[in-house]
Amino acid sequence: MEMKENNLENKDEGLCDVFNSHEDAVERVKGRMPAEEEYAELSEFFKIFGNPTRLKIISLLTVEDLCVCDICEALDLNQTTVSNQLRILRANNIVKFQKEGKMARYSLTDLHIEMIYKVGLEHILE
């Protein structure tokens, strides 16, 4: 792999073939990349927000904590669906819950979740 070093600052122009693209830019950005595993974990985390049912559950819980049954009713969904999605949300550390008798009261894990939800909503509303 031949090199074409270019130490002038901000020299972003240049040939862009596979063996000799903007070497300096490539090196800079590569140097700031998190580990492979963190991308995997982070994409799993964001994937959870990528389903309307889960997003609705998150949305409800930004308003107040709710039991499974309330979520079913508010969203007009059957219990299996809600329970399954809550399991996924739990497994990904997006919601937590406390048992109260035979009920389970769910809430968001922390403020990150609310922030992400709200910034996303802001974005799509332009």
- Overall residue count recorded for the chain in this entry: 126
Residues 49 to 108 in contact with a second copy, rule: CB under 8 A: 49-52, 54-56, 59-60, 63-64, 66-67, 69-70, 72-74, 93, 103
Q: How far is the CB of 86 from DNA (least distance, A)?
A: 5
Q: Could you say which of 2, 5, 8, 119 contacts a second copy (CB under 8 A)?
A: 119
8 binds a second copy (CB under 8 A): no
Q: How far is the CB of 36 from a second copy (least distance, A)?
A: 8
87 binds DNA (CB under 7 A): yes
Residue 67: its H or E element: strand 66-67
Task: For a second copy, give the closer residue by CB, 87 or 118.
Answer: 118
Contact by Cβ (8 Å): 4, 17: no
Alpha carbons 77 and 126: distance in angstroms, whole number: 30
Angle at 26 between CA 20 and CA 32, to 5 degrees: 160
